[in-house]
Homo-oligomer: A and B are copies of this chain.
Amino acid sequence: MGAGQTPYGDHPTLGIKEMFNAALGDAMQSVDRGVDPREIQAAYVGTLGSGGFQIGQPGALVAGYAGLPPIPVYHLENACASGGFALLAGVTAILSGLYDLVLVAGMEKMTDLSSAAAKYWLGVSGDTEFERLAGLTFAGLFALTAQRYMLDYGMPRETLSRVAVKNHRNGALNPKAHLRRAISLERALAGPPVAHPLNVFDCCPISDGAAVVLLASEERARSLTDAPVFLRGFGSGSDHLALHSRDSVTSLRASRKAAEDAYRMAGVGPGDVAFAEVHDCFTIAEIVAYEDLGFAQPGQGWRLIEEGATTAEGRLPVNLSGGLKAKGHPLGATGVGQAYEVFNQLRGEAQAPERQVRRGGLALTHNIGGIGGTAVVCIYEGGEGW
């Protein structure tokens, strides 16, 4: 197994072909005993903007550019969970016995869009008929969630900003993060409003980027490295896209289903997770994720932030990479980039020593499509753990 990633950010000279190539090269270099790209038997590529950003079958496009042989190339699209679903499709292929070495990639080119176009394309991840065409943006959807959550559970506005402060602090240490700077609570509170109660510091940036993970059967992985990382459990789920069809706007059914299946497959529970990367496209999303993943009871997730439980020094560090909030959120890349972060952490190869997690154990990643129309949860274990 190997993993690579471009820095996330504003890359005016790079398109998806170049970013894919860079991430692929990075991933190949991470394979301790080396592997020839021509040994890759199939590819699973997640990206949202393919048709929208003017390219169909983008997986075949980037595979051809990278000089890969005429292998099967699948393109997965599930909004911001495109990368997560590409990963699961690749894992499923390994489990099927069809292949023993496959490539999973996620990528997105976002910064070459006008803000009007970006608003349009981001909006397609939600319900078009009842929400987007009525003027509801994604910040608006998550703002509704935040308002309801604050009303129901008494969370103060400041807690949201504390999520941003935490993730910016982590992102400042990550050389591949888009926003590599810490922010103060005062600054986070004073950001220009986007959709009340969310301000600009509650929202992830518009980023370019790509990430690649190589998946192998256990036997193949052990032949390629002495420090394999194993996927011990995974799950995914879905929900109505439109909020009005859901039972709750402060909890995501898709995330709960994904987590339940992942924990069951891994034979573990939320208490066994040592650290996690969760989908914090907006600050409120991280708090909701704590609850859907079982890290806290419903209505209690915000207290983990107040207690500092999920900081780098806390008992359950969350988003050591900086999260979507500070690392950046190149839509299709995100689910694969989370695996890249976990891979490096579990192997003790986080790019800066001060952000290396201090103990082994299980790592969890959580990736949602839109506002939870789909979701993916994976549980990883490093080294010789099983």
Question: Which residues does A use to contact B, with CB under 8 Å?
Answer: 43, 48-57, 59-61, 63-65, 68, 70-79, 81, 85, 88-89, 92-93, 95-98, 121, 124-128, 132, 235-241, 245, 253-254, 257, 369-370, 373-374
Residue of B nearest to A53 (CB): B51
Residue of B nearest to A376 (CB): B72
Q: Is the pair A51, B49 in contact by a Cβ cutoff of 8 Å? A: yes
Q: Return chain B residues, CB-CB under 8 Å to A257.
A: 70-71
A108 to chain B, nearest CB (A): 12
Most buried by B among A55, A235, A245: A55
User: Which of these, B43, B52, B76, B239, contacts A52 with CB under 8 Å?
Assistant: B52
Known: A77-B56, A96-B96. A71 touches B124 (CB 8 A): no
Q: Return chain B residues, CB-CB under 8 Å to A51.
A: 48-53, 77, 121, 124
Q: Is the pair A238, B96 in contact by a Cβ cutoff of 8 Å? A: no
Q: Besides the contacts A54-B128, A57-B125, A60-B374, what 5 more A-B pairs have beta carbons closer than 8 Å?
A: A49-B51, A57-B374, A59-B374, A74-B76, A92-B93
Q: Is the pair A74, B70 in contact by a Cβ cutoff of 8 Å? A: no
Separation of A39 and B78 alpha carbons in the complex (Å):
23
Known: A61-B241, A124-B54. A75 touches B78 (CB 8 A): yes
Separation of A55 and B125 alpha carbons in the complex (Å):
7
Known: A92-B92, A124-B51. A241 touches B60 (CB 8 A): yes
Known: A49-B51, A56-B124, A74-B76. A373 touches B238 (CB 8 A): no
Q: Is the pair B96, A56 in contact by a Cβ cutoff of 8 Å? A: no
Q: Return chain B residues, CB-CB under 8 Å to A241.
A: 57, 60-61, 64
Separation of A79 and B54 alpha carbons in the complex (Å):
12
Most buried by B among A50, A77, A97: A77
Question: 4 nearest interchain CB pairs?
Answer: A51-B52, A95-B96, A64-B240, A72-B236
Known: A54-B128, A128-B55. A70 touches B237 (CB 8 A): yes
Q: Return chain B residues, CB-CB under 8 Å to A77.
A: 50-51, 56-57, 75-77
Most buried by B among A78, A89, A127, A240: A78
User: Which of these, B71, B98, B237, B245, contacts A92 with CB under 8 Å?
Assistant: B98
In the complex, 11 of the A-B residue pairs with CB atoms within 8 angstroms, ordered by the A residue number, are A56-B77, A56-B79, A57-B79, A60-B240, A60-B373, A65-B240, A70-B238, A72-B238, A74-B85, A75-B78, A93-B96
Q: Return chain B residues, CB-CB under 8 Å to A72.
A: 88, 235-238, 374
Q: Return chain B residues, CB-CB under 8 Å to A128.
A: 54-55
Q: Is the pair B64, A74 in contact by a Cβ cutoff of 8 Å? A: no
Q: Is the pair A57, B373 in contact by a Cβ cutoff of 8 Å? A: yes
Residue of B nearest to A81 (CB): B57
Separation of A125 and B59 alpha carbons in the complex (Å):
12
Q: Is the pair A73, B374 in contact by a Cβ cutoff of 8 Å? A: yes
Separation of A124 and B47 alpha carbons in the complex (Å):
15
A114 to chain B, nearest CB (A): 17
Separation of A370 and B52 alpha carbons in the complex (Å):
16
Separation of A50 and B60 alpha carbons in the complex (Å):
18
Residue of B nearest to A242 (CB): B64
Q: Return chain B residues, CB-CB under 8 Å to A95.
A: 96-98
Separation of A57 and B311 alpha carbons in the complex (Å):
32
Known: A60-B241, A241-B64. A253 touches B70 (CB 8 A): yes
Separation of A43 and B78 alpha carbons in the complex (Å):
12
A357 to chain B, nearest CB (A): 29
Separation of A59 and B74 alpha carbons in the complex (Å):
16
Q: Return chain B residues, CB-CB under 8 Å to A49.
A: 51
Separation of A55 and B59 alpha carbons in the complex (Å):
20
Q: Return chain B residues, CB-CB under 8 Å to A61.
A: 127, 241, 373
